[in-house]
A and B are shown apart, each in its own frame.
Chain A
Amino acid sequence: MIKWVDVYKSFGDKKVLDGFTLDVHEGEAVVIIGYSGAGKSVAIKHVVGLLEPDRGTIEVDDKDVPTLPRKELYELRAHIGYVFQFAALFDSMTIGDNVAMGLRKRPEMSESDIQQRVSEALELVDLPDVQQRYPAELSGGMRKRVGIARAVALRPKYILYDEPTTGLDPVTSAVIDELMIRMREKLGVTSVVITHDMRSAYRVGSRIAMLYEGRVRQVGTVDQIQQSKDPIVRQIIEGRATLEDGETASPAATASAAAVTPARGGRA
């Protein structure tokens, strides 16, 4: 289980998370929606200790992530796959080495085991023949799928997806949605998905949480969110430029908090 409890995080004068609280239960796929720069990526970076909160706790399997000693944090990370918005593949390595990277930290795995796992992961994302190619030789959609394969290869308990379908054509987006659904249904992986794509959110999510002004505005099942009467939630799910009364919501949310990256991985 992943739990954010009353998490506060600011970058300089800019408050990004302001009492963010959310639970993600085993086997669930919770989709976090919200304006660009609302702090969605910041929230999930706390789960793997890439950022430390100013206040509050983040628990994964009852372990308080910000206070974990370095060794235990690395052990925890081995059970969490993270799919980055722009894939974040290592551009000096082949695709095969990219996917094998996390596995090579596991001394119990032989090189043949690693190669087999890499092949399985790439087949799962329908990219069986790209092992010897470099990230620059792949399209954006293929890179994202490799990013997912790299996370999946670890056979993690949790996967955090940071805008996995942003910038992709509808067909590739649907392929990635299917993949996320497969991960959950076949492998029982618990997922947190950040997306702006409501169609994807409805397909993938077992629950949807709306992040607004640093905290959860509403959380519920897909049906509950679709039936929401909250004007802010409706604006996001309907993709309107203004609220129902014609006002613009949250000018503060338009500033890009997601662009802020930690100084040194945020770890002491």
Chain B
Amino acid sequence: MGVIEATGRWVRFRIEEAGRAGRFLEEAARALAAGRTWFPNATLQMRRLGVDSLPIGLLIAIFTGIVLALLASYSFTGAVPLYFVGTLVEKTITLELAPVLTGLALAGRVGANIAAELGTMRVTEQVDALETLAYDPDAYLVVPRVIAGTIMFPLIVGVAMIVGLGAGWLASLGFLQLSSDEFLKGARLFFSAFDIEYGLVKSASFGLAVTLIGCYKGLRARGGAEGVGNAATAAVVYSAVMILVLDAFWAMTWLHGRS
């Protein structure tokens, strides 16, 4: 009986949570219409969530580019022409590593930041205060962050792609004695504009997910400092998982089957 009850409670909780998340999404979508409320904040959030996150994105890109070039050279072991280093760096950076590694780093930085900020506002009644001043918290707090994340994630990833490729190129010149012509030949060999499009669209979806999860967890925070801490932790964990899920989703629905 105890097991059945516990299972029932768990299922009920999950269903209720799904309902709350669905309602949150619906209200966030509805709040998009209140442009006068969210627009001024969106530019501020673009700077805070986007521009301020650029250094971590670039750092990741530099090291990833270097490691990829050396890893490719090690794996080819003379069986594959060395200029394929350029191919591997370009493909993996644009299709996968720039979006996913940057996304995961930003899930920590941006997701935790949003959840902690909104969580603190929730537990100190600042969100209630906003409502009593006739502000819609979805329009004032959620929409600017979600728009900023959805726009700025691809921009950061775009820059990370360029920097990562550049780092791989320099590493090839410095460590592998590959000429620039050879590296670029390899990079161009299987290059397709789709690679960039795919990586950027994917990272926009990561930005959307990370900011939505951060806002949702933050606004649901309870019980003071511990509740805010839990919200921030949950935001990072759920965001990281969602990034991997979306990564697989895009690969299965968009990448798979293309030649």
Which A residues contact B (CB, under 8 angstroms)?
Answer: 45, 48-50, 70, 74-75, 77-78, 80-82, 84-86, 88-91, 101-102, 105, 150, 154, 259, 261-265, 267
Contacts and interface: CB of A to CB of B under 8 A. Distances in A.
Nearest to B131: A265
Interface of B: 20, 23-24, 27, 121-137, 219-220, 222-223
Contacts of A74: 134, 136
B134 A88 contact: no
Contact of B134 (A45, A78, A86, A261): A78
Contacts of A265: 127-128, 131, 137
B125 A264 contact: no
Contacts of B125: 84-86, 88, 261
Given A86-B125, A90-B126, A265-B137, A50 B132 contact: yes
A34 B53 CA distance: 50
Given A88-B126, A88-B129, A90-B129, A263 B20 contact: yes
Specify which of B134, B137, B223 lies most central, judged by the most chain A CB atoms within 10 Å of its CB: B134
B203 to A, nearest CB: 28
Given A86-B125, A105-B135, 8 more contacts: A48-B131, A77-B131, A91-B124, A101-B133, A101-B135, A261-B123, A265-B131, A267-B131
Contacts of B121: 90
B27 A261 contact: no
18 contacts: A48-B132, A50-B131, A70-B136, A74-B136, A75-B134, A82-B129, A88-B128, A88-B129, A89-B129, A90-B126, A102-B134, A105-B135, A261-B122, A261-B123, A264-B23, A264-B24, A264-B219, A265-B131
B129 A263 contact: no
A48 B133 CA distance: 10
A91 B24 contact: no
A89 to B, nearest CB: 8
Specify which of A45, A89, A261 lies most central, judged by the most chain B CB atoms within 10 Å of its CB: A261
A81 B129 CA distance: 10
Contacts of B23: 264
A105 B133 contact: yes
A101 B220 CA distance: 24
B222 A261 contact: yes
Contacts of B123: 261
Contacts of A77: 131-134
Contact of B132 (A82, A85, A89, A259): A82
Closest 10 CB pairs of A and B: A102-B133, A82-B132, A88-B129, A88-B125, A74-B134, A77-B134, A78-B134, A84-B125, A105-B134, A265-B131
B120 to A, nearest CB: 8
A84 B223 CA distance: 17
A70 B37 CA distance: 15
Given A77-B133, A78-B134, A82-B132, A264 B27 contact: yes
A89 B130 CA distance: 10
B137 A86 contact: no
Contacts of A264: 20, 23-24, 27, 219-220
B42 to A, nearest CB: 16
Contacts of B24: 264
B77 to A, nearest CB: 56
Nearest to B117: A92
Contacts of B128: 45, 50, 82, 84, 88, 261-262, 265
A130 B214 CA distance: 33
B113 to A, nearest CB: 13
A74 B34 CA distance: 13
Contacts of A81: 132
A178 B123 CA distance: 29
A68 to B, nearest CB: 13
Contacts of B133: 77, 101-102, 105, 150, 154
B211 to A, nearest CB: 17
